[in-house]
Amino acid sequence: MFRFGVRLLLPLVMLLLAGCTSQTPIPTGLPAPGPANADPRLSALWQERTGEAGEIDFPIGPGDVLEIAVAGLPELEERTVRVGGNGNVELPLIGVVGVSGLTEQQVTERLRLRLQASVMHDPAVSVFVREYRSRIVGVIGAVAKPGFHALSSRDDTILDALTLGGGLDESAALHILFMPAAKPSGGAGQALPVAAAVALADPRRGDPIVIELSSLTEGGTPVYLGLPVRPGDVIVVPERGEVLVKGWVKEPGARPISPRLTVLGAIVAAGGPRFAADKDEIALIRSDRDGRKLAQVFDLDKLERGEQRDVPVQAGDVIDVSASPPKAVVSVFYDFARSIVNIGFGKMY
């Protein structure tokens, strides 16, 4: 029986050796990490929006609901009207009035002039925006209350928008994707309608701005969370996702990514390397934006001693712990011998 077992084992050993020695060519190494929040679009947007201090308020837009009151005119003492898709409202005694792109104060003055020209002398007009439907920012992904939320002023920031979304949940990654609303070609200072802005800001169609939040875990606040937001902006909070650890580890499989999880931490979470693992040929495989596979090779002992930079893992990463051929052969023979011993003891009892 032992001779039959050895004859069966030899082809398995040869197959194992072939698998250990014929490695897939390693693709180009991972790009070196750049400084956090160094995207020039982010700094340009910061300069643009923080320089808008002269603007008093958001312009009124389609979908907003206005409360209009004119003292002494029963037809307009308490009037609630919604701004149409064409940016106009229709009122008794006045008719159709264009209000899109104007502030409350500007609409008040326009109505006062129209009334004074044909209805009454020096009318007392007040205009108040009861509902903001054109001041919406999208906050989606790993937040407590994903959806569309109304901004209260031009001073609202990314942090305020995240607060409106209920804050980050426990699965949130340490970065967000920010997609500023595109401005229409014919309306300076006006954002696109929300539906159009969201469609244009779809992360699958463009190149969103990545804002790193890593300093949050150290008690800090990333400065760009103070970036003013505008109607039609979309903030996506991705989930941390999972990293797959495969090969010669004790517990291979997918692992949830915790904050600051690195290659070394993922291997430890998978139970650590098995005896046959080739500890200086551990590959981290990652897909770039174009779907190409990139990889970087790590030496586990150097990682543990701090002699090699330990890379934070990302959602979709694969850590491949390959086998050392000599150790793999020893491991196979050891497992085979142990199984023979177990069978022998099983027959005895």
User: Do residues 237 and 141 touch, judged by C-beta distance below 8 A?
Assistant: yes
Q: What was the pLDDT predicted at 271? A: 95
Question: 273 in a domain, yes or no?
Answer: yes
Question: 113 in a domain, yes or no?
Answer: yes
Q: Tens-digit pLDDT profile for the chain (349 aa)?
A: 445 444 544 555 454 555 554 454 445 567 666 677 778 899 999 998 888 755 556 788 888 999 999 988 888 888 899 999 899 999 998 899 999 888 899 999 999 999 998 888 889 999 998 888 888 899 999 999 999 998 888 889 999 999 999 999 988 988 899 999 876 554 444 444 555 555 544 544 468 898 988 765 555 557 889 999 988 899 999 998 999 999 999 999 999 998 789 999 999 999 999 888 889 889 999 987 777 888 999 999 999 999 999 988 988 899 999 887 766 565 565 565 566 555 554 554 4
Q: Are residues 161 and 44 in the same domain?
A: yes
The continuous run of DSSP H or E covering 150 comes out as strand 147-150
Cα–Cα dist 235/137, whole Å: 8
Q: What was the pLDDT predicted at 59? A: 84
Q: Are residues 160 and 203 in the same domain?
A: yes
Q: Are residues 18 and 118 in the same domain?
A: no
How many other CB atoms sit within 10 Å of the CB of residue 325? 17
Q: Which of 100, 131, 162 is the last residue of a domain?
A: 131
CATH (domain of 274): 3.10.560.10
DSSP 173: -
Q: Are residues 71 and 46 in the same domain?
A: no
Q: Are residues 280 and 315 in the same domain?
A: yes
Q: Where are the alpha helices (DSSP H) in 166-206?
A: 194-200
Number of domains making up the chain: 3
Q: Which of 237, 270, 302 is the last residue of a domain?
A: 237
Question: 339 in a domain, yes or no?
Answer: no
Cβ partners under 8 Å of residue 174, min gap 6: 212, 213, 214, 216, 217, 240, 259, 260
Q: Are residues 172 and 261 in the same domain?
A: no
Question: 35 in a domain, yes or no?
Answer: no
Cα–Cα dist 102/110, whole Å: 10
Q: What was the pLDDT predicted at 113? A: 93
Q: What is the pTM of this model?
A: 0.68
Q: Are residues 147 and 213 in the same domain?
A: yes
Q: Are residues 47 and 140 in the same domain?
A: yes
Q: 203: closest CA among 222, 176, 184, 243?
A: 176
Q: Are residues 46 and 182 in the same domain?
A: yes
User: Which residues face 143 on adjacent strands?
Assistant: 168
Question: 58 in a domain, yes or no?
Answer: no
How many other CB atoms sit within 10 Å of the CB of residue 10? 10
Backbone angles phi, psi at 315, to 5 degrees: -60, 135
DSSP 258: P
Question: 185 in a domain, yes or no?
Answer: yes
Give the residue numbers spanning the domain of 277: 2-30+241-333
SS3 181: coil
SS3 121: coil
Q: Are residues 124 and 158 in the same domain?
A: no
How many other CB atoms sit within 10 Å of the CB of residue 152? 13
Q: What was the pLDDT predicted at 103? A: 87
Q: Are residues 177 and 285 in the same domain?
A: no
Q: 62: closest CA among 234, 233, 194, 199?
A: 194
Q: Are residues 272 and 172 in the same domain?
A: no
Q: What was the pLDDT predicted at 186? A: 45
Backbone angles phi, psi at 314, to 5 degrees: -125, 160
Question: 59 in a domain, yes or no?
Answer: no
